[in-house]
Amino acid sequence: MLMLLSCAADSKKVTLTLGHTLDTRHVVHLAMVFMGERLDELSNGTMAINIYPGGQLGSEREMIELLQIGSLSMTKVSASPLEGFVPEMKIFAIPYVIRDREHFWKVLNSEIGQGLLKKTEVARIKGMGYYDAGSRSFYTTDAPIRTPDDLIGKKIRVLNSPTAVATVNALGGAATPIAWGELYAALQQGVVDGAENNPPSYYLSRHYEIAKYYTLDEHTFVPDIILASLPVWNSLNEQQQQWLSQAMADSIEYQKSLWQDASDKALQAVIDEGVEVIYPDKKPFQDKVKAFHDSFAGTPVATQITKIKQM
């Protein structure tokens, strides 16, 4: 068994293990590396983070489950798979609630966003903070998506989230949850006709090699979240918790400074590789999901949607 929270021979150094599914070139990975560097500095070398990228320690859901039992110290997940552990997280997977990047950060830093981080503790995990994951848009293998009607009959890979499934189905597609590490082969073999994600993930995963149409409909802004195991967090003393929290906060600002540039460069890179980038009229997409929004009437989610739209 991996020793994911261990002490060095001098019984003073604490090493935390962080697993995630992304490529090492991704700015989210770079932000986690920066967090480890800051933790080393703040703790004067008494704390460290070992990072295992590329899904080496399992899928996002599997790593969340490892956190719950204290067998993994930290992980990075998209907010959507957290819906199975914290139902309120579904708000991020509801389409066209968040308007743009400025609104996105306003929501994350608000009472709603910070309150959602705290709710993770009921699942024996601790929300440490949010990373920018941009907006999610569709990419397809055989034909472009210009209107919602173009999604009809198309199998679209989505995150493992009931709300993400409902979103794509509401837009006319056939939502198909598939693990990120299995998606390249699924696109290649025709198991799915497309997927949806932000430009850096689309580019670094090399999905553009198969899916040559990228439609920037920006239906959702789903943040990445750094989670810690609550049992591991509780095993740290107050000073160590403060160091880790500060390293996390510093890495958030670092990641924000990298994100937009990385997104712009990824978009240009896929264009250079022959991808057709489509900028559709968003109104037909927004109109298509109105009934989906209305389905939350009378629930706390409807209140959340109203509050977020008023920000």
CATH number of the domain bearing residue 199: 3.40.190.170
Integer Cα distance of 227 and 230 in angstroms: 9
Nearest in space to 309 (alpha carbons), one of 98, 125, 84, 48: 98
Asked whether residue 89 falls in the same domain as residue 45, the answer is: yes
Going by C-beta distance under 8 Å and a sequence separation of 6 or more, which residues neighbour residue 215? 137, 138, 139, 140, 144, 145, 146, 277, 278, 280
SS3 229: strand
**Tens-digit pLDDT profile for residues 106-164:** 999 999 999 999 999 999 999 999 999 999 999 999 999 999 999 999 999 998 889 99
Of residues 246, 298, 311, 294, the one with CA closest to residue 94: 294
Q: Are residues 203 and 276 in the same domain?
A: yes
Average pLDDT for the chain: 93
Q: Which amino acid is at 177?
A: P
Residues 52 and 92 both lie in one domain: yes
Tokens 């609104």 locate to: 103
Mean pLDDT of 194-200: 96
Q: What is the pLDDT of residues 250-284, one digit of tens each?
A: 999 999 999 999 999 999 999 999 999 999 999 99
For residue 167, the one-letter residue type is T
Q: Which domain holds residue 24?
A: 5-132+223-264
One domain, residues 115 and 175: no
How much is the pTM?
A: 0.88
Q: Are residue 181 and residue 232 in the same domain, yes or no? A: no
Residue 263's pLDDT is what? 94
pLDDT at residue 11 is higher than 70: no
Taking the C-alpha atoms of residue 127 and residue 9, their distance in angstroms, rounded to an integer, is 30
Domain match, 246 and 276 both: no
* Total domains in the fold of the chain: 2
Express each pLDDT in 29-88 by its tens digit: 999 999 999 999 999 999 999 999 999 999 888 999 999 999 999 999 999 888 888 888
